[in-house]
Structure 1
Amino acid sequence: MQPIHTQRLTRSTLLFPLALVVFEFAVYIGNDLIQPAMLSITQDFGVSANWAPSSMSFYLLGGACIAWLLGPLSDRLGRKKILLAGVMFFTLCCLLILLTHNIYQFLVLRFLQGFGLSVISAVGYAAIQESFAERDAIKVMALMANISLLAPLLGPLLGAFLIDAVSWHWGFVAIAGLSFLSWFALKRKMPEPLQKPIQQPFIYLFRDFKTIYTNAKFLGLSLALPMVTMPLMLWIALSPVMLVEKLGFTSVQYGLAQLPIFFALIAGNLVLIKIIDRFALGKTALVGLPIMLLGTFILLLGIIWSSYLVPCLLIGMTLISFGEGISFSVLYRFALMSSSIGKGTVASAVSMLLMFSFFFIIELVRFLYIYFHISTFVWTCMILIGLWFVYPRIVLKHTMQQRLTLGKF
């Protein structure tokens, strides 16, 4: 699929990304607000606290399972129709979860709510990448990330408030209201059409996915994404158990402990926006990943010298978050543009790979955590970041060299 045109980054062209980020914020806070309340939710349902990370993993699994359909549908029917339908579906699922009576019903609705993740990644992000010139698209993604990062910043604090003051049910009511508000903003501000719909029959979808997943360049660049983002995702999933249950943090202390980590992610995105026009595209990732690796070594020091565990966890995760901030948007752009197939389908392929990785790794770490506790989290982070320096780094440097040969900065 070829875009009709690309826009320059101006105040007027930012209205659509701002409308989209309202929904993105609702979807993200749908995890970050609820995850701190999971200890209270598991108590309400009469199950072990070990179920707490499953709320996040089923949320991610829902996004992974629908991604294959949403992107190709948006290639054929138009991004706007699919985006608006997805926003409304997410809103309804947030309200339906109020009717659940046990942990199994709760996780089914969490799975369905997770569809919202793919609405963003397979439809919304594809529209952003098509609408703006290359470096402007990366800036827009970074700006959106900073706004959506209010979710993990506010989520733990609001989650603590839910636990101490009101029922967790009100969190889902607020998320549904925010999502419904974004539906109106997107209906008004999303341009249409952003692309010419593909005329191929839907049966070609499977051929397209085969072409994408057998592309070595796509695999190298896309596999980098879960390696870069997984440590922070694991932190969000496990930190309530590690900090509150294991280390005895209060709900407020838990919320405050998240602030340096997510402020570092915001700082990384701001640095990316500031310097991206000065360096070859991809250079920030080559700087960011060593910073993340240093963060994992600091996490390891906390395991070795347990009396320094808490400061090492916070310092290590702060460095990891900063490195992710200056790396992710660039790596995502490279992954999305690594195939000539319709960008909705490519975005779906990236989304599926990313979210299935999230689900399986979080569930594996959740199981291993029962036996090895915080060291499971630390060693998983180190292994994931270390693996980036094997194949994905080689593919990234080769891609940068190809761009240089073609005269692209």
Structure 2
Amino acid sequence: MQRTLINLPPLRALGFCLAITLFEWLTYMASDMVMPAMLNVTQDLGADTAHIPNAFNLYLIGGVCLQWLIGPLSDRFGRRPLLLAGCALFGATCAATVATPGIEVFNALRLLQGMGLGFVVAVSYPALQEVFCEADAVRLMALLGNVALLSPLLGPLLGSLLLEWLSWRELFLGLGLIATLTWIGLYACMPETIGVVRHDGGQQAPIPFSLGQLSSRYLALLRNHRFVGICLALGLMSLPLIAWIGLAPLLLVQLLGLTTREYALWQIPVFSAVIVGNLILDRLLASRDLPQLIRLALWPFCLGLLTLIAAALTSLSLAGLMTGLALYAVGLGMSNAALYRLALFSSDDSKGLVSASIGMISIAVMGVGGSLIAAIGGGTRLESFAIWAALGGLLSLPLLYRFLPNVPTDSASST
């Protein structure tokens, strides 16, 4: 069992990890499981297929909308009540999708559902860092990320199977019901980390909430060039994967004429590769510091993106596209949790506010970048997608080159 920094029984610590994992998994499932049905959604609501990537990007943007407020509120009032409120909001908006009358309401609900992702990033991630010591926190972030990755890995396949018996409205109702069970698990198992004295004598005291002080603290973070650079790199490194999730239904189903089940099966190589990268990260954590791990991850990361560009400039096949994406995904899996940890501890401010800033910057990069790739034709041809997605990911390299060598190897002191 992982070492906890607060007095938490092993079974409750396990339940806490499982409940957070389920909530994170649900926030992704709310997108991935219905992606095979998005053509049906637009047809049912009489909307243009251009709303398919738009709805996905609105979901990402929803994850940004409240993070600036959620993180500081959790610093003041505690992680536990904020995460319970976020889970309740997510479940209610999923259930409300059953009565969606048109695409405008559907998109608005997607925005609200995406706010659940904001609670995961701004509240549950800092809570994990405050409950567990450094190595275990990074390991849990990676391993729990593997479980969350089961959503894009199995979500499209599960969604295509369920759609043979259920409508897309009933899928959302099911997500709402599972969110209710998740809320019960969080209520029973989640500890409060604010104001609790840890085993090492440290304590994260409540921080008074003031809009004036809040704006000055955010401005101070934005002046921290290292922090902003790492956050931008975090978003850009994930951009090709996010663009693939949003545009895959158009590329595979509408463009290539695959069935929804075939579309779902083609997701397996990409997200399996991310899981492989996370497992490699777990094995290497004991012998290497975080900057070294990220530098190692750049080898498969860059090789995969360069493969996409080379394949697009010759004769890109679906197999070639998948090969490049899978190589890139291994590098992403190896680096994501480590880079998040470096970003979180590149500032001495409260971890709720810092985590909220990480989420806002990185998710905004992914949402805006995904929208731009869709707008310039990334969903119309495999070659266009491969080139623009690869270039977007490679933009992270100058930022990593600039800021990664300057990150202290002991940047992640135990919380």
Maintained 8 Å contact 2:36/2:249: yes
Instruction: Say whether residues 1:212 and 2:221 are aligned partners.
Output: yes
Query: Which deviates the most, 293-302 or 317-326?
Result: 293-302
Q: 8 Å contact 2:67–2:118 — kept in the other structure?
A: yes
Q: Greater CA deviation, 40-49 or 186-195?
A: 186-195
- Structure 1 position 353 matched with structure 2 position 357: no
Q: Is the 8 A contact 1:60 1:359 kept in 2?
A: yes
State the partner residue of 1:245: 254
Counterpart of 2:80?
80
Change (3 A) 1:210 1:169: same
Equivalent residue, structure 2, for 1:284: 293
Q: Which amino acid aligns with 1:376?
A: S
Pick the aligned partner of 2:210 from 201, 213, 224: 201
> Which residues of 2 match residues 97-246 of structure 1 at below 5 A?
97-194=97-194, 195-246=204-255
**Could you tell me which residue of structure 2 aligns to residue 377 of structure 1?**
385
* CA pair 176-62 structure 1, distance change in 2 beyond 3 A: same
8 A contact 2:345–2:411 mirrored in 1: no
Instruction: Let me know the Cα RMSD of the aligned residues.
Output: 2.2
Partners of 2:208 and 2:125 in 1: how far apart? 22
Distance 1:293 1:406, change over 3 A: closer
Residues 372, 56 of structure 1: alpha-carbon distance in 2 compared, 3 angstrom cutoff: closer
* CA shift for structure 1 position 405: 11
1:184 maps to amino acid: I
How far, CA to CA, are the matches of 1:54 and 1:16 in structure 2? 34
State the match for 2:200 in structure 1: none
Three-state SS of the structure 2 residue aligned to 1:49 is coil
User: 2:210 aligns to what SS in structure 1?
Assistant: coil
Give the superposition deviation at 1:284.
Answer: 1.8
Select 2:327's aligned residue among 306, 309, 319.
319
Match runs of 1:5-84 below 5 Å? 5=5, 13-84=13-84
Whole-angstrom CA distance in 2 between matches of 1:176 and 1:380: 35
Q: One-letter code of the match for 2:304?
A: G
Equivalent pair of 1:297/1:382 in contact (CA under 8 Å): yes
| Percent of paired sites with the same residue | 35
Given that 1:6 and 1:133 are in contact with CA atoms closer than 8 Å, whether structure 2 keeps it comes out as no
Q: Distance in 2 between matches of 1:198 and 1:231?
A: 37
The residue type equivalent to 2:187 in the other structure is: K
Tell me the secondary structure at the aligned position of residue 186 of structure 1.
Answer: helix
- Tell me whether 1:256 sits opposite 2:262 in the alignment: no
Q: Which runs of 5+ in 1 are unaligned?
A: none
2:343 maps to 335
Q: 1:64 & 1:201 partners in 2: Cα distance?
A: 20
Cα contact 1:6–1:131 (8 A) shared by 2: yes
Larger mean CA deviation between 288-297 and 217-226 belongs to: 288-297
- Residue deviations 1:215-238 (CA, integer Å, cap 9, x gap): 011012111111111111111101
Contact 2:37 2:168 in 1 (8 A): yes
How far apart, CA to CA, are the structure 2 residues paired with 1:141 and 1:371? Answer: 32
CA contact (8 A) 1:234 1:362 kept: yes
- Distance change (3 Å), C-alpha of 1:7 and 1:139: farther
Task: Name the stretch that deviates more: 195-204 or 337-346.
Answer: 195-204
On the 8 A contact 2:239/2:366 being kept in 1, the answer is yes
2:274 is aligned to 265
| Match for residue 403 of structure 1 among 400, 403, 409 | 409
Distance 2:253 2:412 in 1: 53
1:11 to partner: Cα distance = 6.5
Cα separation, partners in 2 of 1:375 and 1:76, compared to 1, 3 Å: same
Does 2:395 align with 1:387?
yes
* 1:303 alignment partner in structure 2: 312
Residue 391 of structure 1: how far off its partner (Å): 2.2
Q: Name the CA distance, whole Å, in 2 between partners of 1:366 and 1:88.
A: 32
User: Please, which moves more after superposition, 321-330 or 161-170?
Assistant: 161-170
Q: Which runs of 5+ in 2 are unaligned?
A: 195-203
Q: Which amino acid aligns with 1:139?
A: R
Paired with 1:26 and 1:289, the residues of 2 have a C-alpha distance of 30
- Return the letter of the residue paired with 2:214: L
Residue in structure 1 matching 2:284, options 275, 283, 287: 275
Counterpart code for 2:393: I
Secondary structure of 1:158's counterpart equals helix
The one-letter amino acid of 1:263's match is: S
Runs of 4+ in 1 over 4 A off after TM superposition: 4-12, 404-408
Task: Report SS of the residue matched to 1:390.
Answer: helix
The total of aligned residue pairs comes to: 402
Check the 8 A contact 2:23/2:179 in 1, yes or no. Answer: yes
- Give the TM-score, by structure 2 length: 0.92
- Report the CA distance between 1:266 and its aligned residue: 1.0
Distance in 1, Cα, partners of 2:387 & 2:281: 28
1:316, distance to aligned residue in structure 2 (A): 0.9
CA distance in 2, matches of 1:8, 1:191: 8
Q: Give the distance between the partners of 2:123 and 2:413, measured in 1 at CA.
A: 30
**C-alpha contact (below 8 Å) 1:22/1:178 kept by paired residues:** no
The question of whether the paired residues in 1 share the 8 Å contact of 2:294 and 2:338 is answered with: yes
TM-score w.r.t. the length of structure 1 is 0.93
User: Given residue 75 of structure 2, which amino acid in structure 1 is its aligned partner?
Assistant: D
Per the TM alignment, residue 359 of structure 1 is displaced from its structure 2 partner at its CA by 1.8
Question: What amino acid maps onto 1:66 in structure 2?
Answer: L
Q: Residue 199 of structure 2 aligns with which residue?
A: none
TM-superposed CA distance for 1:334, in Å, is 0.3
**Post-superposition CA distance 1:164-220 (Å, at most 9, x none):** 432111211111111111111111111124442113534311011001111011012
Matched letter for residue 237 of structure 1? G
